[in-house]
Structure 1
Amino acid sequence: MLLNIILGLAVVVLTVNVQGYGTLFWMKKYDKKRNVLSEESFRKQGAKLLISTSIFLIFLHLIQSALWALLYMILPGISEIETFEKAMYFSLVTFTSLGYGEITIGSTNRILSGLEAINGITLIGWSTAFMFAIFQELLKKKNKNKRVN
């Protein structure tokens, strides 16, 4: 059990790094675009920004889930997961806390799925907060434009 906790926490560290560096990367891109938003194109550009941010964050979560899936693939004793597709499916279901249950892993490794669920909840919450922060910035920009005009 201790080995599983250590391996799980190592993957948590990796996924938090993916989220952190991904968020910083996107903030730099956003900072460049935010000053270009004009009032005429505000709605269209704002919508594009929110959609592209959402897709980017989902991409980050796919990478994070893939890291967990790789762990499930390389660990001995997880015979329920024969292919990467099954590992990825199990990981996505666990990461998002859906927990359908048609694929489960054996008792010696099942602590990993709990760690992944905690990790997923945390990182999805981070993404939600990030999306909300961008939405707030867009609203501030819109209100600032209204006051100037």
Structure 2
Amino acid sequence: MILAILITSFTFVLSGALHYVIVSSAIRHLGAATWHRGRKLVVALCVSGIAHVVAASLYALAYGAGRVLGIGDLSSETPASAMDVFYFSLVSYTSLGLGDIVPTGHLRLIAGVEALNGFLLISCSAAMLFLFMMDEDKAKSP
């Protein structure tokens, strides 16, 4: 259980830090760009999406590490491949919880924390994008 807590904590902190660095850097650079507002928003959305895929990938690596270390597995009709682990991570990160792949053992802790972290980071992206667009509106007003 201690190993699962360590893996989960490390992944939680790292994914949050990377998300912040990626999204805030993009918004800072886009704020200085002279592009059309719509183009800035599209780029900000794409960068935010990339940040979320990076975070889900970190959790997929955490599941892989947990499987190698023998603290749990992902059960499904067939043995889980690397793509299955990544798919499960994306489903957990977005809190969809489809149930076609199920964590066993202490990987359940990682899955639960990933859903919480995904919700927090998706909400954080929405807030940062909202503030970015509000700043764009203020810059345009007389």
The aligned residue for residue 82 of structure 1 is: 80
SS of 1:99's partner is: coil
* Structure 2 gap ranges (5+): none
2-structure distance, mates of 1:79, 1:62: 20
SS of 2:99's partner is: coil
Q: What is the 5 A alignment of 1:6-17?
A: 6-17=6-17
- 2:62 is the alignment partner of 1:71: yes
The aligned residue for residue 41 of structure 1 is: none
CA RMSD of the aligned region, Å? 1.6
The aligned residue for residue 135 of structure 1 is: 133
2-structure distance, mates of 1:20, 1:53: 13
2-structure distance, mates of 1:79, 1:58: 25
8 Å contact kept, 1:95–1:119: yes
Q: What is the 5 A alignment of 1:13-24?
A: 13-24=13-24
Q: What is the 5 A alignment of 1:1-149?
A: 1-33=1-33, 36=34, 45-75=36-66, 76=70, 77-80=72-75, 82-143=80-141, 147=142
* Structure 1 gap ranges (5+): 38-44
Greater mean deviation of Cα atoms: 19-28 or 61-70? 19-28
Q: CA deviation at 1:79?
A: 4.9
Q: How many residues align?
A: 135
Q: CA deviation at 1:28?
A: 2.9
Corresponding letter in the other structure for 2:102: T
SS of 2:21's partner is: helix
CA offsets, 1:60-106, max 9 Å, x none? 00011000001111222315363221111100110010111111111
Q: CA deviation at 1:27?
A: 2.9
SS of 1:82's partner is: coil
CA offsets, 1:99-123, max 9 Å, x none? 1111111133211110101111111
* TM-score between both structures, scaled by the size of structure 1: 0.83
Structure (1/2) with the larger strand percentage? 2
- Larger Cα-atom Rg: 1
